[in-house]
Amino acid sequence: MNQVNKAILLLVVIETMLEALHHIEVDQTELVDSLVMLGFDPINILYETNTIRSFQQVCRAFAELDLTDEALSAFSQE
């Protein structure tokens, strides 16, 4: 998975986790699938969905992506 696609998936997961943190019902199947694709252990994350720590793990993973201008330009060309 390239960096831009990974970034998009991470943003979707962050949005879903924000909804869960605000006690909005979320599609846990989609959340689990996304977490697995990103390399997270969904069981560990789901047991901590209502904590800031798991949310911070996902945000940290997004922040660590190397989103170069070239990668973003190539993605926008697709």
Q: Which amino acid is it at 74?
A: A
CA geometry: angle at 76 spanning 70 and 77, to 5°? 90
Q: Name the token pair of 70.
A: 């070239």
Q: What is the pTM of this model?
A: 0.77
Q: Model confidence over 28-67: pLDDT tens digits? A: 888 889 989 999 888 887 777 667 788 888 999 988 888 7
46 Cβ contact partners less than 8 Å away, ≥ 6 residues apart: 28, 31, 32
